[in-house]
Amino acid sequence: MNTVKVKDIVLGDGIPKICVPIVAKTKEEIIAEALSFKEIHVDVVEWRVDWFEHVFDIEKVKDVLKDLVPALNNIPLLFTFRTSKEGGEKAIEPRAYADLNKSVAATGLVDLVDVEAFTGDEIVKEIIEGVHAYGVKVVASNHDFGKTPSKDDIIYRLRKMQDLGADIPKIAVMPKSKLDVLELLEATVIMSEKYANRPIITMSMAGTGVVSRLTGEVFGSALTFGAAKKASAPGQIGVEDLYGVLQLLHRSIQ
């Protein structure tokens, strides 16, 4: 299994890293939240730019980034426009989506860019190649808020992301039962041990799936999401609680 290094953080090795999302509408709120991260355990910050009030003005997005990066004080930054079809705040046309992500990568201010893997193969390949051209890593993602697919389908989706050239495949699914959570965890083990040659991120959402956010070191997920203020997805728990459980499990499985 190859690891992925962003700044001082290595994904795919040891304890799953903690990513905290910023979900705020104004530049002032975004920067204030970033500054507050100095007091919590956070390895990666995700800017959910679909929440930003001026997201469709690229110059205003860049203006936020110019102040956001220093505020994070070397914490790696994941740039994410989560589309409404995958649970985000806004819709966007594929061409505008591609241009936004490539333009942001070109600034050199972000470390990772999230690319929704089922936007269309040609657009996805274009974005991945464009982002990679600037030395930025890609998290390919898929979010199924309606159900938990079969383990074979989950593995298929993750392998497709890997084949498209993403540095880190990611999938989040919605459980309807406890068995759905086991389906996601089994798929994670199979993917990480049999097919993946890079870190993967998986999670089962909502309260039923919270165990999947805690046990990545056991089952093979390299990153987990915790909430500092506002959760960006169902089932995220507080960062400090998350950190404590990850440390406890790590000590227990050594």
Residue positions in the annotated binding site? 46-48, 82, 213, 232, 236
Degrees to nearest 5, angle at CA 249 with 243 and 251: 105
Question: Can you tell me the distance from the alpha carbon of 195 to that of 197, in angstroms, rounded to the nearest whole number?
Answer: 7
At residue 159, the 3 state secondary structure works out as helix
Q: Active-site residue among 17, 102, 143, 151? A: 143
Separation of alpha carbons 127 and 129, rounded Å: 5
> What CA–CA distance (Å, rounded) separates 55 from 50?
6
Q: Is residue 28 classed exposed, middle or buried when 0-12, 13-18 and 19+ CB atoms within 10 A define those classes?
A: exposed
Rounded to the nearest 10 degrees, the angle between the axes of helix 151-164 and helix 121-132 is 50
Tell me if residue 54 is catalytic.
no
Residue from 17, 109, 23, 24 nearest 70 by CA: 109
* φ, ψ at 103 (rounded to 5°): -65, -40
| Residues near 104 by beta carbon (within 8 Å), at least 6 away in sequence | 58, 61, 62, 65, 79, 110, 113
Tell me the β-bridge partners of 113.
79, 138
User: CA angle 100-103-108, nearest 5°?
Assistant: 130
Choosing from 170, 176, 178, 230, which is the catalytic residue? 170
Catalytic residue list contains 160: no
Q: Which residues are annotated as a binding site for 3-dehydroquinate?
A: 46-48, 82, 213, 232, 236
Q: Which residues are catalytic?
A: 143, 170
